[in-house]
DNA sequence: ACCCGTGTTCGCTG
DNA sequence: TCAGCGAACACGGG
């Protein structure tokens, strides 16, 4: 579920359902083996009960929740991994099938953190001191909050010899792109994803910076307005090249190809991406 | 059964 | 020293 747009969606879900509300009860439904992974303290459950959600922030693919607990401010850092989702429901409705954490809210609503594959993470941050969390400090700029400037991007990519699409997945470089939007951005920039990151040149860097913004903005646009529209895996494919191997490129009609880079599928058009 | 997967971390290698 | 690579994590869907 998780690239920048989906995490932004989760942030909005959390704000709409729970901002300013108190958590009446917290539980980790442990049906069968659906438990927290090692390293994730069940203490999360205890710490959250009674706290009030004061702020929800997104940095790259991380969600930063600030709570007012009895003992003062408390942070909850949430990363959705591959299949994590925050879902809001009526407290009386059944919990999500793979709910790892359920928060019952003041006012009759509830939140589920649902994650079948358990690649996601939940961590308490004492005092909500997010500045002291190393993995957050290591993140590159967030394309949505901080923008992506062409000259900066060219310089940043110039520090690695990896293929440009692989470099775009590096969260230390830029925080928020994942396998879909890295590929989509390359397509929008007419850029061969296999091109070495340090061999872009200013024109391609400029095109790529604009393409990153466009790709994310396009995905985010679906979430504007009163209805949050969620891009479901299994639903219609809203992307230009992602998961479209063999289909025709919407720009030049050549057949889209799939190649593997860094153990991930890359979809691209050999006709118009150079 | 087999393959694939919107992510990250860890350990090895050259 | 360190960039880069591949395995591993765990489960569901086609």
Give one DSSP letter per residue of A87-128, joined into a string: EEEETTSPPPTTEEEEEEETTSEEEEEE-TT---EEEEEETT
Q: From residues 204-233 of A, list those within 7 angstroms of strand B by Cβ.
A: 231-233
CA–centroid distance for A209 within its chain: 19
Nucleic chain C contacts, Cβ below 7 Å: A 33-34, 37, 82, 98, 116-119, 160-162, 166, 234, 262-263
Active site residue A22: no
Q: Which residue has the tokens 């358990």?
A: A118
CA A173 → C1' B3, Å? 31
Dump strand ranges (E) for chain A. 23-27, 52-59, 62-69, 72-79, 85-90, 99-105, 109-114, 121-126, 257-261, 264-268
Average pLDDT rounded to a whole number, residues A125-137: 95
Is the distance between the Cβ of A180 and the closest atom of strand B smaller than 7 Å?
yes
A114 neighbors A80 (Cβ within 8 angstroms): no
pLDDT tens digits along A55-79? 999 999 999 999 999 999 999 999 9
Catalytic choice (A2, A5, A141, A163): A2
Catalytic choice (A61, A85, A100, A188): A61
Helix/strand/coil for A57: strand
pLDDT tens digits along A232-252? 556 788 999 999 999 999 999
Active site residue A3: yes
Nearest nucleotide, CA A260 to C1': B4
Nearest nucleotide, CA A138 to C1': B8
pLDDT tens digits along A185-235? 999 999 999 999 999 999 999 999 999 999 999 999 877 654 445 555 567
Q: Which residue is nearest to nucleotide C2 (CA to C1')?
A: A160
Q: CA of A216: how far to CAs of A8, A178, A198, A223, in Å?
A: 11, 11, 23, 11
pLDDT tens digits along A151-185? 999 999 999 999 999 999 999 999 999 999 999 99
Best CA proximity match to A74, nearest among A96, A44, A101: A44
Per-residue confidence (pLDDT) for residue A223, from 0 to 100: 72
Does the pLDDT at position A109 exceed 70? Answer: yes
Burial A55-83 (b: 16+ CB within 10 A, else e): bbebbbbbbbbbbbbeeebbbbbbbbbeb
What is the dihedral sign for C-alpha A78, A81, A87, A93? negative
Q: How many CA atoms lie within 13 A of A65 on its CB side?
A: 28
Active site residue A165: no
Q: How many CA atoms lie within 13 A of A204 on its CB side?
A: 20
Cα separation, A43 vs A65, in Å, equals 16
> Strand C: which nucleotides have any atom within 7 A of a protein Cβ?
3-14
């Amino acid at each position: 579920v998780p690239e920048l747009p989906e995490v932004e969606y989760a942030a909005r879900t959390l704000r709409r359902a729970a901002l300013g509300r108190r958590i009446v009860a917290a539980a980790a439904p442990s049906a069968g083996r659906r438990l927290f992974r090692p390293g994730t303290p069940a203490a999360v459950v205890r710490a959250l009960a009674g706290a009030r959600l004061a702020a929800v922030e997104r940095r790259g693919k991380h969600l930063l929740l600030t709570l007012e607990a009895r003992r003062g401010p408390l942070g909850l850092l949430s990363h959705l991994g591959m299949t994590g989702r925050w879902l809001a429901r009526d407290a009386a409705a059944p919990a999500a099938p793979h709910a790892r954490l359920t928060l019952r809210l003041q006012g009759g609503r509830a939140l589920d953190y649902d994650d079948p594959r358990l690649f996601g993470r939940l961590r308490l941050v004492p005092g909500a001191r997010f500045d002291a969390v190393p993995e957050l400090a290591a993140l590159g700029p967030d394309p949505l909050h901080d923008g992506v400037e062409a000259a900066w991007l060219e310089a940043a990519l110039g520090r690695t010899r990896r293929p440009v699409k692989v470099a775009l997945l590096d969260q230390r470089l830029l925080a928020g792109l994942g396998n879909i939007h890295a590929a989509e951005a390359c397509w929008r920039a007419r850029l061969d994803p296999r091109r070495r990151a340090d061999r872009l040149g200013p024109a391609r860097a400029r095109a790529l910076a604009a393409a990153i913004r466009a790709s994310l903005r396009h995905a985010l646009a679906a979430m504007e307005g009163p209805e949050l529209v969620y891009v479901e895996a299994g639903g219609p494919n809203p992307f230009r090249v992602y998961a479209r191997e063999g289909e025709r490129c919407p720009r030049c009609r050549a057949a889209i190809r799939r190649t593997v880079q860094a153990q991930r599928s890359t979809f691209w058009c050999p006709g118009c991406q150079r």
